[in-house]
Structure 1
Amino acid sequence: MPLTRPSETGAPLTISGAAHELGITVDTIRYYEKEGIAPAPGRGPDGWRRYDADALSWLAGVVMLRGTGMSVQEMREYAAAYRAGSTPQERLAMLEAHRETVMARLEGVHRHLAALDAKIARYREHQDGSARSAAREPRAS
């Protein structure tokens, strides 16, 4: 989900607004910040967190990486590399390595799905066969 602006008005969002926008919980955002995966956002005059477009974009990336199964430890390493000034090529290598992991997992899921589909088909064939033979059998009165 690309985020181009923090809100319709351009004003930064509160943590609850950011959580709603990203489809995650406030506790999840706080956890990512505590773990160093997401940088702490600026704060408004009231002391509340305020998430601007950059903060939302970073969090959206974290949500995407987590959705692909990247571990919290790997996300910490990626964020640390970014903060340490790693080159785009170094971060690209990290993402490409993760992509390979995701693709391998996806291939496994496809194999399991094919096996599940075959098992469902066998059950349906059995049910259809049982229903046909029950319809042909004469009933005892």
Structure 2
Amino acid sequence: MLLPEVHVREPITISAAAKLLGITVDTIRYYEKEGIAPAPARSSDGWRRYDTSALSWLAGTVMLRGTGMNVQEMREYAAAYRAGADDTERLALLEEHHAVVLQRQTELQRHLAALERKIDAYRQTIAARGASGKARSAA
């Protein structure tokens, strides 16, 4: 995965990786268990160590999840990658998801506009009530 980019000079622990990516250790373990993220190398003491490559894959996974890609779709993408799917096949998976994200974005914008109208209506009601209350107080 290309974005977002994450670089480390030396491999880091799972807790450092989680902190760097803004996710929990349990989330990283889950992605690995589900085959979404490849298992990282382990140090001589058996602890997971995340290099730039492993972190980049996880960062991409976090980005995909943030766009609403579900776990099954992330599994399919990872499986296609591991199976050696060519760039065209992986591009098709991402473009399909992109279309879904754009549809959701359009729907979200529609709901946001309705929410803003509702907020404006409440503000106008409160302001009108406040203005009529001030007029009564002066009388």
Report the TM-score, using the length of structure 2 for normalisation. Answer: 0.94
Higher mean alpha-carbon deviation, 127-136 vs 75-84, is at: 127-136
User: 1:68 and 1:138, CA in 2 relative to 1: closer, same or farther beyond 3 A?
Assistant: closer
Counterpart of 2:58 in structure 1 is: 59
What is the one-letter code of the residue matched to 2:59? Answer: A
Residues 68-79 of structure 1 mapped to structure 2, 5 A cutoff: 68-79=67-78
Q: In the TM superposition, what is the alpha-carbon distance from 1:53 to its structure 2 partner? A: 0.8
Q: Deviations over 1:53-101 (max 9, x none)?
A: 1000000000000000000000000000000000101100100100110
Figure out how many residues of one structure are paired with residues of the other and give that number: 136
Over aligned residues, Cα RMSD in angstroms? 1.3
What is the one-letter code of the residue matched to 1:19? Answer: A
What is the one-letter code of the residue matched to 1:2? Answer: E
Counterpart of 2:14 in structure 1 is: 15
Match for 1:2 among 5, 8, 12? 5
Q: In the TM superposition, what is the alpha-carbon distance from 1:134 to its structure 2 partner? A: 1.2
Q: Deviations over 1:98-117 (max 9, x none)?
A: 01101100111100000000
Q: Which sections of structure 2, spanning at least 5 residues, go unmatched? A: none
Q: In the TM superposition, what is the alpha-carbon distance from 1:139 to its structure 2 partner? A: 7.2
Q: Which sections of structure 1, spanning at least 5 residues, go unmatched? A: none
Counterpart of 2:40 in structure 1 is: 41
Higher mean alpha-carbon deviation, 127-136 vs 28-37, is at: 127-136
Q: Which has the higher contact order (CA 8 A, sep 6+)?
A: 2
User: Secondary structure at 1:69's aligned position in 2?
Assistant: coil
User: Secondary structure at 1:137's aligned position in 2?
Assistant: helix
Q: In the TM superposition, what is the alpha-carbon distance from 1:133 to its structure 2 partner? A: 1.1
Counterpart of 2:114 in structure 1 is: 115
Percent identity, aligned pairs only, is 62
In 1: Cα distance, 2:132 partner to 2:51 partner: 67
